[in-house]
Amino acid sequence: MKLEDLRKIRERASKDISLRKGDARVKVVIGMGTSGIAAGARDVMAAFLDEIDKRGLSDVTITQTGERGLASSEPVVEVHVKKEAAVVYGEMTDTRARRVVAEHIVNGNPVSDYVIEVRA
Amino acid sequence: MIESLDMHLQDLVQNAYSAGASRVSVLLDCDKAADRLTLEVSDNGSGMDEQTMRAVQQGFFSSKSKRSVGLGIPLLRASAEHCDGSFDIASRPGAGTTVTARFRLRHIDLPQLGNLAKTFLNILVTSSGRWVSITYRCGDQELDIDTNRLHEFLGETSFQHPEVIRFLRSYIEEHIGQEWEET
């Protein structure tokens, strides 16, 4: 594999303008402070990235943030879908993250089992 | 609990991002001849004064006053020192921070490397405009990757485009010889 191959991806991706404009339909924020990482946030982030790849989701961005003050519920993930209330999920795992991608991000139905907060 | 080196690395880089760094370098080097493993994260973030550095190394400190956790650094320090290694933080306010942990490579309690591919991928795709470089050298495996070089080839294409994620993951795995852990 060569990094030069990224040029081809760039050409193909030039049609997907939403990520380039920083105007993604969905923003996922993962709490990656020390306690979040200790509780499994690193693998939760990897699961989101894996699902973005497998499902070819070109309108989702993942960002990380430090401690959130919700230590008892970590790993914590916020999902912001454009024009909708932000949903905060707690005690996330690899499997739960994949379910959130399928049901919430793709199909538009928040996974109520893991919701700890909804921010209007 | 943070134990393996991949988790420590993710934690150190998060610290650098939280310190407002625009430049972060990550080094993981296994030197068999010298029987030493070196883990180093260097950033140009806000840095720390001496008092803060002491507090950080003792644990239960966080620069976010609401929270008083922050056990990542003392755990890494204890682990390095236990493995006949050493631990250093060099930092000054406004001049960034360099954290270096050294371990004896063949020490029986050397922490596991863990899944470095996941951590490296996470670090790259959340670099968000920062200049991040990763250097990994272990045996005949070597990875040298730098977000500025990636931008040269990708232009404005996001590191989080699905095809870019797939490419980076394969590239990282090829160069560090670690399989992506399927769950």
pLDDT cut 90: percent of chain B above it: 78
Cβ of B11 and A66 within 8 Å? no
pLDDT range class, residue B3, cuts 50, 70, 90: confident
Tell me if chain B has a CB within 8 Å of the CB of A52: yes
Quote the pLDDT of residue B52.
83
Share the mean pLDDT of chain B.
90
Q: Cα separation of A36 and A65, whole Å? A: 10
Contact by Cβ (8 Å): B109, B87: no
Tell me if chain B has a CB within 8 Å of the CB of A119: no
Quote the pLDDT of residue B139.
84
| Residues of A with Cβ-Cβ distance to B18 under 8 angstroms | 66
Which of B72, B166, B170 minimises the CB distance to A34?
B72
pLDDT range class, residue A18, cuts 50, 70, 90: low
Q: Cα separation of B134 and B127, whole Å? A: 12
pLDDT per position as a tens digit, B110-135: 999 999 999 999 999 999 999 999 99
Tell me if chain A has a CB within 8 Å of the CB of B64: yes
Return the DSSP state at A32: -
Residue at B183 is within a domain: no
Residue at B15 is within a domain: yes
Which has more confidence, B181 or B171? B171
CA B107 to chain centroid, in Å, comes to 21
Residue B7 has pLDDT above 80, yes or no: yes
Contact by Cβ (8 Å): B87, B77: yes
Residue at B140 is within a domain: yes
| Residues of A with Cβ-Cβ distance to B166 under 8 angstroms | 53
User: If contacts are CB pairs under 8 Å, which of residues 69-88 in chain A contact chain B?
Assistant: 69, 71
Quote the pLDDT of residue A46.
97
Q: Cα separation of A15 and A12, whole Å? A: 7
Q: Which of A1-10, B96-105, B143-152, B164-173 has the least mean pLDDT?
A: A1-10
pLDDT per position as a tens digit, B76-118: 999 999 999 999 999 999 999 999 999 999 999 999 999 999 9
Q: Cα separation of A27 and A84, whole Å? A: 11
DSSP sequence for B30-94: EETTTTEEEEEEEE-S----HHHHHHHHHSS--SSTT-----HHHHHHHHHHHTT-EEEEEE-TT
From B107's Cα to the closest Cα of chain A, the distance in A is 24
Range of the domain at A111: 3-119
Contact by Cβ (8 Å): B31, A54: no
Q: Cα separation of A25 and A41, whole Å? A: 23
Cβ of A66 and B18 within 8 Å? yes
From A13's Cα to the closest Cα of chain B, the distance in A is 7
From A110's Cα to the closest Cα of chain B, the distance in A is 22
Q: Cα separation of A98 and A89, whole Å? A: 13
Tell me if chain B has a CB within 8 Å of the CB of A99: no
- Virtual CA dihedral for A60, B173, B144, B108, nearest 10 degrees? 120
Torsion angles phi and psi, residue A6, rounded to 5: -65, -25
Q: Which tokens belong to B21?
A: 């760094």
We report the CATH number of the domain holding residue A37 as 3.40.30.10
Residue B62 has pLDDT above 70, yes or no: no
pLDDT per position as a tens digit, A86-120: 999 999 999 999 999 999 999 999 999 999 999 87
How many domains would you assign to chain A? Answer: 1
Tell me if chain B has a CB within 8 Å of the CB of A1: yes
How many domains would you assign to chain B? Answer: 1
Quote the pLDDT of residue B55.
81
Q: Cα separation of B80 and B70, whole Å? A: 17
pLDDT range class, residue B60, cuts 50, 70, 90: low
- pTM for this prediction: 0.92
| Residues of B with Cβ-Cβ distance to A50 under 8 angstroms | 180
We report the CATH number of the domain holding residue B120 as 3.30.565
pLDDT per position as a tens digit, A32-87: 998 899 999 999 999 999 999 999 999 999 999 987 666 789 999 999 999 999 99
Residue A117 host element (H or E): strand A115-119
Residue at B83 is within a domain: yes
Residue B162 host element (H or E): helix B162-176
Range of the domain at B45: 5-176
The closest of B82, B70, B83 to B37, measured between CA atoms, is B83
